């Protein structure tokens, strides 16, 4: 959950009300007509004052997190984060569960690395934690441990295997013949690299060559380039279907001028 000033102001308002009521109860405890309830009034008033202090501290923390999130949005580096594992902590706020996330983050300047964060996740997007599509994140340019998840954004998706970009909303697909020519050009002149499968799911469809189509999330390492990550749907030769699982590695070639465009070099992939 992205911290907001509104949440902090709500905490301050509640703290002010509790402080006022607590002080009023303590004042009332000094009245002779309420002498029999003085002890109870003092205890309740004191508890409300303590609760008000806690609310103020929480509000200050939320404001600090809001300022940090704002700074990251203005100066941070956009990247992607693949969810490796998600565990609910049992804590919730505003009906939003807190989830401990093990993330594999990829962004310019920091490469690819793993980080663990606790996040309050909006219920409307909690289903995204189980999908192979990466999350959009913003990373501090100087401290890669400071990561902001942008629940409202779409992760910048790279373009594996010469396929068109898969963003939302989807763009028109490339003509199959043109896509094949682009792929062959990349295989003939491209820079070698390796794509590692993070997750893969069979879509139930076949491509024009009769190959099973998989929705896959990849971590790509190209010689002389920073690692990148992305999601795509790709037709996989039957003899290489066994690679469609976490840890499977596929030789690739990348466009030397645009490393976001690359193609699987199935000819260099050992048959299972």
In this predicted structure, what is the pLDDT of residue 161? Answer: 41
SS3 115: strand
Whole-number Cα distances in Å, 74 to 68, 71, 106, 135, 171? 10, 5, 19, 19, 28
In this predicted structure, what is the pLDDT of residue 64? Answer: 85
In this predicted structure, what is the pLDDT of residue 167? Answer: 39
SS3 232: strand
In this predicted structure, what is the pLDDT of residue 51? Answer: 92
Which residues, other chains included, contact 202 with Cβ-Cβ below 8 Å and sequence gap of 6+? 212, 213, 214, 244
What's phi and psi for 238, nearest 5 deg? -55, -35
Domain coordinates in residue numbering, the chain: 5-74, 77-149, 160-268
| pTM check: above 0.85 | no
Residue pLDDT tens, the chain, 272 long: 445 677 778 888 999 999 999 999 999 888 888 888 888 989 999 999 999 999 999 888 888 878 888 888 888 888 888 888 888 888 877 677 888 999 999 888 888 899 998 888 877 777 777 766 788 888 988 888 899 888 775 544 444 443 333 333 343 445 667 777 888 888 888 889 888 888 888 887 777 777 788 888 888 888 777 777 777 778 888 788 888 888 888 898 887 777 667 788 888 877 55
Which residues, other chains included, contact 109 with Cβ-Cβ below 8 Å and sequence gap of 6+? 77, 141, 226
């Amino acid at each position: 959950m992205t911290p907001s000033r509104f949440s902090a102001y709500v905490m301050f308002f509640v703290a002010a009300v509790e402080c006022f009521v607590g002080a009023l109860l303590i004042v009332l405890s000094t009245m002779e007509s309420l002498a029999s309830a003085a002890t109870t009034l003092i205890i309740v008033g004191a508890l409300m004052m303590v609760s008000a202090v806690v609310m103020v501290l929480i509000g200050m923390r939320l404001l600090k997190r809001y300022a940090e999130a704002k700074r990251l949005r203005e100066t941070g580096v956009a990247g992607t984060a693949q969810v490796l594992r998600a565990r609910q902590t049992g804590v919730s706020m505003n009906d939003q569960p807190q989830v401990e996330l093990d993330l594999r983050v990829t962004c310019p300047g920091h490469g690819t690395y793993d980080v663990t964060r606790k996040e309050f996740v909006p219920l409307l997007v909690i289903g995204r934690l189980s999908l192979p599509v990466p999350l959009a994140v913003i990373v501090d340019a100087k401290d890669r441990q400071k990561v902001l998840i942008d629940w409202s954004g779409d992760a910048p998706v790279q373009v594996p295997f010469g396929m068109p970009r898969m963003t939302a909303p989807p763009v028109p697909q490339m003509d199959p013949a043109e896509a094949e020519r682009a792929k062959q050009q990349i295989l003939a002149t491209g820079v070698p690299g390796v794509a590692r499968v993070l997750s893969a799911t069979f879509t139930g469809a076949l491509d024009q060559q009769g190959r099973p189509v998989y929705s896959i999330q990849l971590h790509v390492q190209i010689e002389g380039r920073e690692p990148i990550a992305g999601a795509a749907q790709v037709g996989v030769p039957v003899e290489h279907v066994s690679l469609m699982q976490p840890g499977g590695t596929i030789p690739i070639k990348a466009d030397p001028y645009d490393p976001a465009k690359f193609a699987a070099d199935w000819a260099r992939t050992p048959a299972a």
